[in-house]
Amino acid sequence: MTAQVFIPKDTTAVALGADGLALKMAQNIESRSLDAEVQRNGSRGMFWLEPMVEVKTESSRIAFGPVNASDIESVLDAIDDHLAGKSIDHSLYLGEVEKIDYLAKQQRLTFKRAGVGDPICLSQYQGLSGFKGLAKAISMTGQEIVDEIKNSGLRGRGGAAFPAGIKWQTVLDTPGEQKYIVCNADEGDSGTFADRLLMESDPYQLIEGMTIAGLAVGANQGYIYLRSEYPVAHKILNDAIKRATEAGFLGSNICESGKDFFLEVRLGAGAYICGEETSLLESLEGKRGMVRAKPPLPAIEGLFGKPTVVNNVLTLGAAATILEQGSDSYKDFGMGRSRGTLAVQLAGNVKQGGLIELAFGTTLREVVEGFGCGTHSGRPVRAIQMGGPLGAFLPESQWDTPLDYESFAEIKAMIGHGGIVVFDDTADMAAQARFAMEFCVVES
């Protein structure tokens, strides 16, 4: 078997030189006549290791990282040894990918496919249980699908944590010829990138989740409202939608079900407030992104005045997983009223930043210390910010709070979209407070 050499094509890996690396790697493989080929995958979300190069053979899947252009020769020597059955001696060698501590300690449901293969390859997606949730949904009634989501305990992952099943029920129960599914992909809080990672590394999961939502509530049109700051995600989503449409997973008569679901990506235009669902809807209608008064709820009078499900990327992604694996299995994860998994994003001045998917209930300390392993600068941590500019800065004394919506509300903080930004002891907290205020003034 020809060995596959994976180099990610997500924003972070590319921002660290993955495109040039992939090109040079392919050239060097050819000039060495190595039995290997370069493939572009999504990212595993272990961003401090990017660009991470994975090598897949029949018996193993190993990784090196972070690999720069100057490391190519020595990494290829190591790959050569590996293919010849010899042991690897290289400073960037990370061992078996799945056994890397950071990944092995996680409970990946939504991100189980991220980084495994080419994000827009349909057959790979299907090979990794993709579209199984949709197949089940097609055989169910709208009410049965909504009941599954309700039973799973899934709450909105955008930040508000509203029960997704109740929202879907309202849209299902509201009569209307035309209904819409809107995906909120306006991921604007600093320190958050989970939506981007899912869209760039496993876009079909979002497509599948939105289609399931459409079948559940009787909507035949979906929009992904994507922030314009995500050019890589934009391209990958459009490619994925095109392929899914050609293969019959989107469009008219999806999977011969007799049902239609059309999907389109719409770009935002640089307005933080449009992450709020009613201003997002205004923006989608082509207007200024002004917040609407509620009621009426978007579920009753949403996009163009029609009943609309507005959910975050991760909520809709989770819907695909819930339909595939069953709501009982999903709700087995978590604590209290926070069921399933939370995609924590560790960012800022941190040694090991990345995407960490864990069942609700883990403490903040386990994430910051157990995964982050200190600051990038090597200095002590001053504080961490959670929940974006509207969230809170938390000193170490509050890190034993479990990651659970209600526990965070008790300490007057919020999980929000799950982003954690680490600051070292050189941070000027008064300046950060001023920044947060200025930002909210400008963006309100």
Where do contacts with another protein occur on this chain (CB under 8 A)?
Answer: 11-12, 14-16, 47-48, 50, 187-193, 195-196, 228-232, 266-272, 283-289, 303-304, 345-350, 353-354, 376, 385, 389, 419, 421-424, 427, 432, 435, 439, 443
Vertex 201 angle, CA 198 and 205, to 5°: 55
Chain centroid to CA 136: 23
Output the smallest distance, CB 398 to another protein, in A: 18
Minimum separation from the CB atom of position 355 to another protein (A): 8
Report in angstroms how near the CB of residue 427 gets to another protein at its nearest. 7
Q: Which is nearer to another protein, 190 or 325 (CB)?
A: 190
Identify which of residues 189 and 208 has a Cβ nearer to another protein in the complex.
189
- b/e per residue 257-274 (b: at least 16 CB within 10 A): bebebbbebebbeebbbb
CB of 98 to another protein, least distance (A): 20
Residue (41 or 375) nearer to another protein, CB: 375
| DSSP-derived secondary structure letter, 226 | E
Looking from the CA of 156 toward its CB, the CA atoms found within 13 Å total: 20
CB of 269: closest distance to another protein in angstroms? 4
CA gap 209, 435 in Å, rounded: 36
Give the nearest distance from C-beta 81 to another protein in angstroms: 30
Q: Which is nearer to another protein, 37 or 435 (CB)?
A: 435
Nearer to another protein, 82 or 234 (CB): 234
CB nearer to another protein: give 2 or 228.
228
* Rounded Cα distance, 361 and 363, in Å: 6
- CA dihedral 308→309→312→313, nearest 10 degrees, is -100
